[in-house]
Chain A
């Protein structure tokens, strides 16, 4: 009840925080949460990394926090779906499961990556709840950070409507406004977080709604790469439209390194294997990639996807056709990482341009 005279009785769903206060907020929040935030490493790469708990190390890490024009090398998916993860351990006739439950504050998530997280959430809850994924997300707060400018030249979120600002799915969203951020509140949990740390936040003045709208429109206009995303989904949905020749041509150039799949926010394939050390065993799962020849190779040696072009087709069809058919959502969230990470210049945005503009690009 902050409003005066009954005109604005409800607290607004938008707060404001000075940029200078962010470090102190993160320092305070890290007492309760495992805080993940983009940090610039000495080599210049930015990773969505966990802040250390040790006081001195935390202070040092906070100096490396970056929130603007951030191109995190990989998506934050590894917070919930680690590259290598223990499923259970076993010794003699005992088996014990090893899920992870820590409270996680993910701070500064790009809107496209947020879509990726929500996509994976849905995938790992579909049909049954994946114990490991669901335990990792059960106590989680997401602070999204809209992009004023595309962090990668390959970004095409405005075409897929997955950015540059999120419309929903966040607990809080930062809107860059000079030396402060507007903080949009998306959920009750987000509101509680602000209440817990209220000394860092204040009420915005004036016609802030209009200001936020202008910021978002300008951000949207800043994306130069535009593709006909919806048309691509429609074309992919028509079973036999994409000529095999397209896949064969791309497949000839692909070096099948799997890089695009590791950086992809929605790639969730994994392998399962056992490790044994000193009579104690552990079953683990680790990331796999459908472009690898061994991915579908059977014990007999038979491989239904031995041909390169079939693996190329699989990749595009999974993202743009089958995911869409099963969930109504595209499996590509238009972050552009596949193209920015590809050594030979192959990416989903280019594939979309090829099929919608009917010309060879790759």
Chain B
């Protein structure tokens, strides 16, 4: 079945971690060693995950690209495939196609510059592939700031990683929640409120953004108020996809395809396209 891009490789769920009431993190390894070996992904790419008999859906890879013996997906149970994978146990068999997407986070281009990461809700998950990569090569980037907004404290993802970033003096992290509980002592409100506080030089800063669709236009407004440049702002634009390889056409944004040309786009390239942000 070589060269047939529509046929998934068999893989196994090796570990499941329940991280919030809605989300679980799945560690996945290919059953065939060859398939694992040739699976090299870049930060921002995604896979098509099959739960056999239920269907297939796209998920951003959330783990560090430097980790070669497995990869991770952080999945919220909302659709048929995502609910089905939540029902699976460790050791279960799934199908994987990918990695897909030419549009990746600017992991190379941003070297030697400041990095500002802005995540809303589940949007932190796709950014993790990039952020863990940056942490591996931390000395190659200038300042790193992560702004993350969640609905409430129980929905905060990657609490261990956030604690780790907080423990380092070369990462600045701001977490904000819309609905605080009694114990919450951090920021309150949407993540756009924190952007005015960023003191990076606009010309010298790469910004990456991932969050719910409604978030993008407000984030872009705030960034541009501070003169951040549209060719240095990257947005992960996720869309409904079926094939993941540019044939089913569901993810068209203007003349671009989220699956092939994205899912990460430079603001410069998409801002004038209908429906983009």
Contact of B4 with A by CB under 8 A: yes
Contact across chains for A128 and B248 when beta carbons are under 8 A apart = no
Contact across chains for B78 and A300 when beta carbons are under 8 A apart = yes
Task: Name the 5 nearest CB pairs between A and B, nearest first.
Answer: A299-B79, A322-B255, A304-B275, A276-B53, A269-B249
Contact across chains for B272 and A288 when beta carbons are under 8 A apart = no
Contacts of B127 in A (CB 8 A): none
Contact across chains for A296 and B250 when beta carbons are under 8 A apart = yes
- Which of B10, B93, B247 makes the CB contact (< 8 A) with A268? B247
- Which of A97, A131, A290 makes the CB contact (< 8 A) with B249? A290
Could you list 16 examples of A-B contacts with CB < 8 Å?
A88-B6, A95-B7, A95-B10, A97-B4, A127-B260, A129-B3, A131-B4, A269-B248, A270-B242, A281-B52, A285-B242, A285-B248, A290-B249, A299-B82, A302-B212, A313-B274
Residues of B within 8 A of A (CB): 1, 3-8, 10, 52-57, 78-79, 82, 93, 95, 212-214, 238-240, 242-243, 245-250, 252-255, 260, 272, 274-275
Contacts of B272 in A (CB 8 A): 239
Contact across chains for A296 and B245 when beta carbons are under 8 A apart = no
- Which of B6, B52, B275 makes the CB contact (< 8 A) with A274? B52
* Alpha-carbon separation in the docked complex, A290 to B151 (Å): 33
Contact across chains for B239 and A304 when beta carbons are under 8 A apart = yes
Distance in Å: Cβ of A131 to nearest Cβ of chain B: 5
Contact across chains for B255 and A288 when beta carbons are under 8 A apart = no
Contact across chains for B53 and A87 when beta carbons are under 8 A apart = no
Most buried by B among A88, A95, A129, A299: A299
* Alpha-carbon separation in the docked complex, A201 to B126 (Å): 64
Give A297-321 as 1s and 0s: 1 = Cβ < 8 Å from B's Cβ atoms.
1111010110000100110011001
Please classify the interface of chain B as helix (H, G, I), strand (E, B), loop, or mixed, using the class held by over half of its residues: loop
- Which of A97, A296, A298, A326 makes the CB contact (< 8 A) with B255? A326
- Which of A131, A132, A272 makes the CB contact (< 8 A) with B55? A272
Contacts of B79 in A (CB 8 A): 299
Contact of A80 with B by CB under 8 A: no
Contact across chains for B254 and A93 when beta carbons are under 8 A apart = no
Task: Name which residue of chain A comes closest to B10, CB basis.
Answer: A93
With A93-B93, A302-B213, A305-B275: A269-B260 Cβ-Cβ less than 8 Å: no
* Alpha-carbon separation in the docked complex, A272 to B81 (Å): 13
With A131-B3, A299-B82: A269-B250 Cβ-Cβ less than 8 Å: yes
Contact of A124 with B by CB under 8 A: yes
Contacts of B247 in A (CB 8 A): 123-124, 130, 268, 270
* Alpha-carbon separation in the docked complex, A313 to B252 (Å): 13
- Which of A131, A268, A314 makes the CB contact (< 8 A) with B252? A314
Contact across chains for B7 and A97 when beta carbons are under 8 A apart = yes
With A90-B52, A281-B53, A304-B213: A298-B239 Cβ-Cβ less than 8 Å: yes
Contact of A241 with B by CB under 8 A: no
Q: Chain A, interface size: which category? A: 35 or more
Contacts of B95 in A (CB 8 A): 95
Contact of A271 with B by CB under 8 A: yes
Distance in Å: Cβ of B171 to nearest Cβ of chain A: 30
With A87-B6, A95-B8, A322-B254: A274-B1 Cβ-Cβ less than 8 Å: no
With A131-B6, A270-B242, A297-B240: A310-B248 Cβ-Cβ less than 8 Å: no
* Alpha-carbon separation in the docked complex, A288 to B251 (Å): 13
* Alpha-carbon separation in the docked complex, A87 to B274 (Å): 33
Give A278-302 as 1s and 0s: 1 = Cβ < 8 Å from B's Cβ atoms.
0001010100101000011111101
Having A285-B248, A288-B250, A304-B253, one finds 5 other A-B pairs with CB under 8 Å, namely A93-B93, A95-B1, A95-B8, A297-B240, A318-B252
Contact of A325 with B by CB under 8 A: yes
* Alpha-carbon separation in the docked complex, A296 to B245 (Å): 16
Distance in Å: Cβ of A99 to nearest Cβ of chain B: 8
Contact across chains for B55 and A270 when beta carbons are under 8 A apart = no
Contacts of A271 in B (CB 8 A): 242, 248
With A298-B240, A318-B252, A322-B255: A274-B55 Cβ-Cβ less than 8 Å: yes
* Alpha-carbon separation in the docked complex, A122 to B276 (Å): 27
Contacts of A288 in B (CB 8 A): 242, 248, 250
Contacts of A270 in B (CB 8 A): 242-243, 247-248
* Alpha-carbon separation in the docked complex, A326 to B260 (Å): 14
Contact across chains for B248 and A272 when beta carbons are under 8 A apart = yes
With A295-B250, A322-B255: A272-B10 Cβ-Cβ less than 8 Å: no
Contact across chains for B3 and A310 when beta carbons are under 8 A apart = no
Contacts of B250 in A (CB 8 A): 269, 288, 295-296
